[in-house]
Structure 1
Amino acid sequence: MTGAPEPLDRLHPGLVHHIVNTLGWSGLRPLQEEAIEPLLDSSDAVLLAPTAGGKTEAASFPLLSKMATENWTGTSVLYVCPLKALLNNLLPRLETCTAWLGRTAALWHGDVTQPRRKKILRERPDVLLTTPESLEAMLVSTNVDHRAFFSGLQAIVIDEVHAFAGDDRGWHLLAVLERLERVVGRPVQRVGLSATVGNPEQLLTWLQGSGGGRRQARVVAPHLRDEAPVLPPPGDIQLDYVGSMENAATVVAALHRGEKRLVFCESRRQVEKLGESLRAKGVTTFLSHASLSVDERRRAEEAFADARDCVIVSTSTLELGIDVGDLDRVIQIDAPGTVASFLQRLGRTGRRPGTIRNCLFLAVDEEGLLAAAALLLLWSRGWVEPVTAPPEPRHIVAQQVLALCLQEHRVGDRLWHEWWGGLGPFGTSAEPIVHHLIDEGYLERDGGMLFIGPEAERRFGYRHFMDLTAVFTAAPEFTVLAGRTEIGTTNPSLLTEEVMGPRRLLLAGRSWQVTYIDWSRRRCFVEPVDGGGKARWGGAGAARGTSYELTRAAREILLGATPPVSLTRRADAALTQVRGDRAELVHPDGTVIVRGGRDTNVRWWTWAGYRANATLTSTLTTVADPLQRPTDTCVRLRDDLTAAEWKKATAVAADQLGLPAVDARALNGLKFSATLPPRLAEATLAARLADLDGAVAVLKEPSRFTILGQ
């Protein structure tokens, strides 16, 4: 009697041959083994593994086997990523694997040239690597016969799926996938690849879209079956307090010489300042962030991959799975906004045999120290944020209806919702949005058919409606050029503010003097100078602030909790100082209302996060100061508030929560909000600013009044 076949035996023999002989692998990793059965059986799946866990091969090996065994033709697999740089990085790997079976892979995104696109349309690759925005552009383009091109589509792999699911790009991706399935005329297998998330089953349900509950689905995460994860030894996760960015540069320059170091910062301006300081100290330094040109980033990443004794300073652009070579150390300035981001960054190290994962936190101020300690406390407990889609994506519904009319030229005014198969907000509940699009001229209706109207042409028609294909808003910036070489982009305010003497910019870690500004084409020309440059960028959209969980963890730190990592003497002393300075703002048995002291305002120290505090502010209108911007940690109350008024206001508040007030200017960050009735646009943003659960949790806690100085 023979036993069950080995997982490897289910793969195509030609593929197995190359796995063993070309790659030299003696076997597959657990994730790769366990993904074979569900993927060969056409199940939807989410494959979870830490960074560098072999997720790409876990998805591609079974799908390429099916492609060969079932003789798929045309473009049968789409590989979707959130970043063009990640696609560029993955292409050689997938080209190699497809070539083993006589198949092809190709790249399609915004930087791919027109001649290359025409070749792809003539000679359809078996695997196409792309972004959701490029998929949308293909569907609406008059140059692409989307029905013919996608006719052979069988499976879609979504890499870094958690990066999509938590924002509007996820809603956009799901809606585009539903339209693709209708174009193809059959269900298409969906495979998501992700680092560890707090709610993998819910992420899988989200990924399935309208097919959730109707198609087979599996979460494949062998590492989660093990016992509690073993944390790196305390000495390999270290927290230091350095007090300034200049001191951070001194520490980075002095530590781990001869090694390759990746430093993460939380803003482009921090990246520029630290990069400039490191270069001034003679450290070979490269930079990566979203406002550097594609060529500038590519040069930096390639040089860093080939170098040894060097540093690359980056925002989250290098957080995802882009290969920057053999990395020795990760250094974090202050703290990332989520535990999930930290796990991604930590996973950049420890990839070589005999090495372990490591991260050094350098806090440049007290807030950064508290945030880092709070994050490490949650991480040490194995907690990771659940990934949840933003509520009420009405603006994406409007965008999708317009995109569908571009794609099909005209759509039945009673049949449009069928294109999304009953996917949540894209069903008949969106009728008021469609009526508004018609009333405002974005759509025209004639003979029971909908088609693009003059207002949509006016607002989005530029460059063949390209602005309609992306759901994120890019801030208007000026392109910076040194001769003919593009360096990156900068905030227009740096070009308009009054300055004494020459106008200088800091970009790519170097100072540049502005020599000419082309206002009509939004370009400025520069030449290198020795120093004095300034960096500035503005963010679009409403601030999200810190989460309830991370802010509560900061409260625990102030109450005496300490993460089980290595703290330097400086960090330990600074934490002790912070705890002493803020002792009156926390209490183990509930929240604190503080009057007096250095602050003349009355503040309710909730430690509940930005969104919960915004919800509380809009709910407690009789006792909260109306002229305030909520913070992560507290809500400002009326100066004349009495204990009796407080008790009365909070007694029923948990049952009467109000959504946060919305500043009309904040709607500019909600792309396509202009296509909605104003009340629906404001309601959409208000729902996203709210944390009802966090607000209720705080209201259920006892609160005590403290009067300082008495």
Structure 2
Amino acid sequence: MSDLELLHPTLAHHVVNTLGWPSLRPLQREALRPLADGEDAVLLAPTAGGKTEAALFPLLSAMARHQWTGVSVVYVCPIKALLNNLLPRVERYAGWLGRRVALWHGDVTSAARAAILRDLPDILLTTPESLESMLVSTKVDHTVVFAGVRAVVVDEVHAFAGDDRGWHLLCVLERLTRVTRRPIQRVGLSATVGNPVELLDWLQGSSRGRRAARVVEPEPSGQALDRPPPGDVELDHVGSVANAAKVVASLHRGEKRLVFCDSRRLVEELGAHLRALGVTTFLSHASLSAEERRRAEQAFGEERDCVIVATSTLELGIDVGDLDRVIQIDAPATVAAFLQRVGRTGRRPGSRRNCLFLALDHAGLVQAAGLLLLWGRHWVEPVTPPPEPRHIVAQQLLALCLQEFRVGDRSWAEWWAGLEPFGPAAAPILNHLVAAGYIDTDDGMMFIGPAAEAAFGTRHFMALTTVFTAAPQFTVLHGRTEIGRTDPSLLCDREEGPRLLLLAGRSWRVTWVDWKRRRCHVEAVERGGRARWQSADRSYGGSYALVQAMREVLLGADPPVRLTHRAEKALAEARDDHLDVVHPGGTIIARGDDVRWWTWAGYRANVTLRSTFASVADPRQQVTDAYLRLRTDITPQAWSSAVRDAVQGLTLPTPDAKALEGLKFGAALPPRLAERTLAVRLADFAGAAAVLDQPQRFVTYPGR
């Protein structure tokens, strides 16, 4: 039987005659049989490898053959922009079989939602937060809407699994399974992951080991990481944002270039420099208005000689047209992110995937070189769910009470069917919710209490369906047009003269601030604006693997890519600057103006070591990726004693008060459990233990 014969005949006809495909791609072929048989799966292929079709074609065939009715497939994405981008393609495929698709997320109007509820589609595109909002909404009869769900497709599944949105998604899927009263097939799509079997186990949730499941990967794992030939990746050192703009403006003219920056501020500054050089430039980041981002992405898709500067918002598969080049300012935090980004190129026949790294300083250069060293070894970070998600358990218990109105105080755990966080460790959390008034009980039933209504009750409990706490921002308006959002600190700083903002790559003068409604009104000016946002980064600095690779670079290892003369010169300077703090035989403890233990272990391992070595560590320090400070009065005897104690057992770090405030639903936990949750996530015991296994060398540098 040919691969196309496994598809519904109508779908197979359109694949050949409408799409013009004589056959399916390897991933699409290999996914047909297991998905048609109802198996859970993770489908792995490089970016643009046809993963959406690999999931949808067999599910659409099953939908037609078995006459599924109502919402039978839920397609989940991590960001709304990706859903918007997928909609026309999914509508096209479903339409061939007379099936309909609908979009449901925060930007969909109430009128459109009402229309969906009146006439249910066959496929629903949504986010986990919107899926849960449907479960808890009094306007949605979830027992009717989701009664026919047979399969859930999770796009960019690795983007969920590595943080709390993954736990939230799993919990919502367990509740959805109980609503449908049948097992739901789970299909994850991913381009870059270092541990696919573990990722599949995670995706299966409570059905792990009880349902057939497989990883579908058409190439050996080393090839699937999508490493281009070395000549297609280049590392340069430019020294400043202004110089980066000059390089981007002068190279590859006439081509479409996508530039990734890892902060919104950098996106704005580079965009402004490029426009000043006369380059057709578009911007995309999370603090721009949805309309501003859509206009930029649409215009970029239609232009040829242009640049779009973006954060990771354009990393996850959004179609921006026929892309020629990817340029990375400094380095992304992970090899997986780099693979996503380089995968945006090389989609035309005869073209190759490519990436140009532009380092702004020595630190950015060394990090980029370390990341490329790991990439050259075909290494990718394993996707690891955050441990001990107690705050998600608290959120889910409250959401279930909203969903069901009344929940049995002995049967609540059945909704999650034995999912790990809802075991015995969940009982203290429930007890606290009851004691604190978040949940009320009466005659064996639980329901929402007054404390929950006070904390989360605004806008119909919408705050309860969002896992992350976002820093407050002010909406920036030009007339009636929303441009985006800015950090309120820019509106509070003392300044002489007009207050100028940089947003959407343009400068604006603030004309009026509405503090109560968190709005500011602006008018355009020529130049001089500033951009700033509070960091939303939860990665806690560089990983042990990445920072160790940076150490290797400083010790002389070169990544398998082309280095420009500027990069070679700057890398030699960086190595000279670090001669006295890296050693191939172990770690360095350097005494100069202060005492620094150069571990090169990454932030999380170093903060673990700081806590473990509390008796000899400087209590006032800011820990870095590369080192931690020790007390200046440390003695050899005190050090030896501290090492002996550390070998006996490492100590959890103590999270600061600001970190605790950023843990959403942390207030719904007992303080000691909230602290424990953050401490476990902050720690890196493996990295800290690896450092302790290395010899330590004491050196003295007078006057350093």
**TM-score greater than 0.5 by the shorter chain:** yes
Does residue 1:602 correspond to 2:595, yes or no? yes
Query: Helix, strand or coil for the counterpart of 1:464?
Result: coil
Does residue 1:671 correspond to 2:664, yes or no? yes
Does residue 1:293 correspond to 2:289, yes or no? yes
Match of 1:399 in 2: 395
Match of 1:623 in 2: 616
- Which residue of 615, 629, 636 maps to 1:636? 629
Match of 1:547 in 2: 543
Query: Helix, strand or coil for the counterpart of 1:331?
Result: strand
Structure 2, unpaired ranges of 5+? none
Match of 2:413 in 1: 417
Query: Helix, strand or coil for the counterpart of 1:106?
Result: strand
Does residue 1:34 correspond to 2:30, yes or no? yes
**1:7–1:37 CA contact under 8 A, matched in 2:** no
Query: Structure 1 counterpart of 2:255, which letter?
Result: E
Does residue 1:454 correspond to 2:450, yes or no? yes
Match of 2:126 in 1: 130
CA shift, 1:184, in A, is: 0.6
Query: Structure 2 counterpart of 1:95, which letter?
Result: E
Give the 3 Å change call, closer, same or farther, for CA 136–277 of structure 1 in structure 2: same
- Which residue of 169, 183, 186 maps to 2:182? 186
Query: Structure 1 counterpart of 2:443, which letter?
Result: G
- Which residue of 156, 164, 167 maps to 2:163? 167
Q: Deviations over 1:456-496 (max 9, x none)?
A: 00010000000000101111100001011100000011111
1:145-544 paired onto structure 2 within 5 Å = 145-224=141-220, 231-540=227-536, 544=540
- Which residue of 89, 96, 99 maps to 1:100? 96
**1:417–1:428 CA contact under 8 A, matched in 2:** no
Match of 1:700 in 2: 693
Match of 1:657 in 2: 650
Query: Structure 2 counterpart of 1:622, which letter?
Result: S
Query: Structure 2 counterpart of 1:548, which letter?
Result: Y
CA shift, 1:620, in A, is: 1.0
CA shift, 1:236, in A, is: 1.3
**Structure 2 CA distance for aligned equivalents of residues 314 and 540 of structure 1:** 16
Backbone CA RMSD of aligned residues: 1.1
**Structure 2 CA distance for aligned equivalents of residues 229 and 501 of structure 1:** 52
CA shift, 1:428, in A, is: 3.1
Match of 1:79 in 2: 75
Does residue 1:109 correspond to 2:105, yes or no? yes
Match of 1:690 in 2: 683
**1:418–1:427 CA contact under 8 A, matched in 2:** no
Query: Helix, strand or coil for the counterpart of 2:344?
Result: coil
Query: Helix, strand or coil for the counterpart of 1:66?
Result: helix
**1:541–1:669 CA contact under 8 A, matched in 2:** no
- Which residue of 52, 58, 66 maps to 1:56? 52
Q: Deviations over 1:89-124 (max 9, x none)?
A: 000000000000010011000000111101110111
Query: Helix, strand or coil for the counterpart of 1:585?
Result: coil
The percent identity for this pair of structures is 69
Match of 2:641 in 1: 648
**1:335–1:361 CA contact under 8 A, matched in 2:** yes
**2:264–2:285 CA contact under 8 A, matched in 1:** yes
Query: Structure 1 counterpart of 2:299, which letter?
Result: A
Give the 3 Å change call, closer, same or farther, for CA 229–481 of structure 1 in structure 2: closer
**Structure 1 CA distance for aligned equivalents of residues 224 and 166 of structure 2:** 30
Q: Deviations over 1:153-187 (max 9, x none)?
A: 00000000000000000000000000000011011
Query: Helix, strand or coil for the counterpart of 1:222?
Result: coil
What is the number of equivalent residue pairs in this alignment?
703
CA shift, 1:652, in A, is: 3.5
Q: Deviations over 1:262-289 (max 9, x none)?
A: 0000100000000000000000000000
Query: Helix, strand or coil for the counterpart of 1:505?
Result: strand
CA shift, 1:230, in A, is: 7.4
**1:43–1:216 CA contact under 8 A, matched in 2:** yes
Query: Helix, strand or coil for the counterpart of 2:651?
Result: coil
**Structure 1 CA distance for aligned equivalents of residues 160 and 201 of structure 2:** 14
Does residue 1:21 correspond to 2:17, yes or no? yes
**Structure 2 CA distance for aligned equivalents of residues 296 and 437 of structure 1:** 41
**2:43–2:215 CA contact under 8 A, matched in 1:** yes
**2:46–2:225 CA contact under 8 A, matched in 1:** no
Query: Structure 1 counterpart of 2:664, which letter?
Result: K
**Structure 2 CA distance for aligned equivalents of residues 246 and 10 of structure 1:** 55
- Which residue of 41, 44, 47 maps to 2:43? 47
Does residue 1:91 correspond to 2:87, yes or no? yes
**Structure 1 CA distance for aligned equivalents of residues 454 and 448 of structure 2:** 11
**Structure 2 CA distance for aligned equivalents of residues 152 and 587 of structure 1:** 62
